[in-house]
Chain A
Amino acid sequence: LGQDLTALGLNLNSPDNLYPTFGGPWAEHPCRPQDIDFHVPPEYLVN
């Protein structure tokens, strides 16, 4: 009978696109805000 596609960790009712926070084919959760790269000025990369 196939899978319950609503239980794969994707918010299928989201009004926004899913791809910008897609965690990948094995991820049970979308990426969190802090997982998403943001192009900050290179001098901010002090780590």
Chain B
Amino acid sequence: YDDPPGLMEKTDFLLKDWINIYHSASGRDSTKAFSMFVHQMNVHGILKTDDLITRFFRLSTQLCVEVVCRNLAETVTPTVIRAKCYYTLDAFVRLIALLVKHSGDSNNTTTKIHLLNKVLGIVAGCLLQDHETRMTEFQQLPYHRIFIMLFLELCAPEPVLEAINFQVLTAYCHTYHILRPSKAAGFCYAWLELISHRVFIGRMLAVTPQQKGWAMYAQLLIDLFKYLAPFLRNAELAKPVTMLYKGTLRVLLVLLHDFPEFLCDYHYGFCDVIPPNCIQMRNLILSAFPRNMRLPDPFTPNLKVDMLQEISYAPRVLTNFAALITPSQFKKDLDSYLKARAPVTFLSELRSNLQVSNEPGMRYNIPLMNALVMYVGTQAIAYIRSKGLTPNMSTIAHSAHMDIFQNLTVDLDTEGRYLFLNAVANQLRYPNSHTHYFSCTLLYLFAEANTEAIQEQITRVLLERLIVNRPHPWGLLITFIELIKNPTYKFWNHEFVHCAPEIEKLFESVARSCM
């Protein structure tokens, strides 16, 4: 860093001086003390250049982290240790908050946000470097406290802060994305606590108008799911993973309860990165439905799903899944097949576009599979509507769209078909046109299947989603009920339904709750 000689000592002296001022009586409303201290900083030339300010913040952060790590190494009672840590950190945070608030004149938001981004970047840089050098000795506390206390200071109900709040949130989301768990695994618990803090959630999802914080918040959750995915892929979870997973479930439950529309809008992106075997967490996301919607009880006898008003409305899907269909030649061939239902060779090449390896369990490009299913399905709905019809068991048949789905059903191996059926089942949510179309598709594929193995696998995909603890998506329930109730599917005649007594009992218990 080749800091100018003496800068570290100067910084150490100033920081200690500020900490005393902050904790002295006059520190209460530190603005008075702050103006005296800024004068001090000027005298020491700290504020002379951008470079010196940057160095000052980096050195101060490192000094604070040093003090905290020394405190944490002491063997006194944890509350005393933490009080000593907060003593240093909270003063440093107040200094940053005051410098941000008072930099530039009151309505010059640019300088304030520029300084905030700088400081957040410096603290993040120190964290990543610390994470790399200290390895398993890395401590979350100092960085966790700096980020959250600074955020709380910048969310105080003051006009100058309210005016820059969205930029503050944006700066924080960028910083948290830089510090996502796959980049700083040793910070992952503090990170989840930071992004799920009640004030942060409130600001990102409730207070900020026009849902402007939703896309950034969705990105942070995707960062979390991407990190968890490899660990959750294996059924046995180690304790540290279970802790993070349960913490994630709590956060998702709060979102399901308070912001279901948020989960509805971003469900596609989330399910794209959640491992297929993470059934309950995926169900939790897929169970969300708009608060102003009343869901008819799926067990209502003779429920006419296609008579529901909402069934014709398309849900908001804020992921551009069409753009995820690559390479572009494949997308072109797909579009021309959908348009002309030719060339037939397109169907026989489908699998080769989706298969990426021969490694069992890793054979297919899951995001591409999901995007293909979503794209073909939504194109099918539009195509059926363009003919003045509505999707149902007969209008979805005999089309280029259904050719593709039937080809995937027949041509893929067990693993590939499982992923394909999952992509379809991931659209079984609350009453909307996607739920309806994909529910019909699943039932149609069951009815038209040319082998019992396919019917068994469709049943398995539905069943594994039903036997886990609640919640269960409405669309999943109505599809399964239709499958076991409607004699067209001859469900009960199939061998696999009676393959084991507990399976038979399970089907019967579901059947009983339907009748």
Contacts and interface: CB of A to CB of B under 8 A. Distances in A.
Chain A–chain B contact at Cβ < 8 A: yes
Interface of A: 1-5, 8-10, 12, 14, 17-22, 24-27, 31, 37, 39, 42-43, 45
Given A14-B257, A25-B196, A42-B29, A3 B201 contact: no
B253 A5 contact: yes
A3 B280 CA distance: 8
B254 A18 contact: yes
Nearest to A30: B198
A42 B193 CA distance: 27
B257 A25 contact: no
Contact of A5 (B152, B201, B258, B284): B284
Nearest to A36: B198
A25 B192 contact: yes
B471 interface: yes
A15 B281 CA distance: 23
Interface string B420-453: 0000000000000000000000000000000000
Nearest to B248: A25
A26 B156 CA distance: 25
B198 A19 contact: yes
Given A8-B250, A9-B250, A22 B469 contact: no
A18 B258 contact: yes
B240 to A, nearest CB: 12
Specify which of A2, A8, A14 lies most central, judged by the most chain B CB atoms within 10 Å of its CB.
Answer: A2
Interface residues of B, number: 36
Contacts of B315: none
B249 A3 contact: yes
A19 B243 contact: no
Contacts of A24: 193, 196-198, 247
B280 A25 contact: no
B157 A8 contact: no
Contact of B201 (A1, A19, A31): A19
Contact of A8 (B193, B198, B201, B246): B246
B196 A2 contact: no
A39 B205 CA distance: 21
Main secondary structure of the interface of A (DSSP, over half): loop
A14 B467 CA distance: 26
A32 to B, nearest CB: 13
B83 interface: no
Interface string B251-284: 1011001100000000000000000000111011
B114 interface: no
A8 B196 contact: no
B29 A10 contact: no
Given A18-B253, A18-B257, A26-B243, 19 more contacts: A1-B469, A3-B249, A3-B280, A5-B469, A8-B246, A8-B249, A18-B254, A18-B258, A19-B198, A19-B254, A22-B198, A22-B201, A22-B250, A24-B193, A24-B198, A25-B248, A25-B250, A37-B152, A43-B29
B41 interface: no
Contact of A10 (B152, B157, B253): B253
A20 B196 CA distance: 11
B471 A10 contact: no
Contact of A22 (B152, B196, B468, B471): B196
Given A26-B247, A39-B157, A43-B28, A19 B206 contact: yes
B202 interface: yes
B470 interface: yes
Given A3-B246, A8-B253, A18-B258, A25 B201 contact: no
Contacts of B157: 39
Contacts of A18: 253-254, 257-258
A19 B474 CA distance: 25
B280 to A, nearest CB: 3
Q: In the A-B complex, list the 4 residue pairs whose CB atoms are closest, starting with the nearest.
A: A25-B247, A2-B280, A2-B468, A2-B469
Nearest to A26: B247
A38 B98 CA distance: 20
Contacts of B246: 3, 8, 25
Nearest to B468: A2
Contacts of A10: 250, 253-254, 257
Nearest to A35: B198
A20 B254 CA distance: 10
Contacts of B198: 19-22, 24, 31
Nearest to B25: A46
Nearest to B252: A5
A29 B198 CA distance: 13
A37 B156 CA distance: 10
Contacts of B253: 5, 8, 10, 12, 18
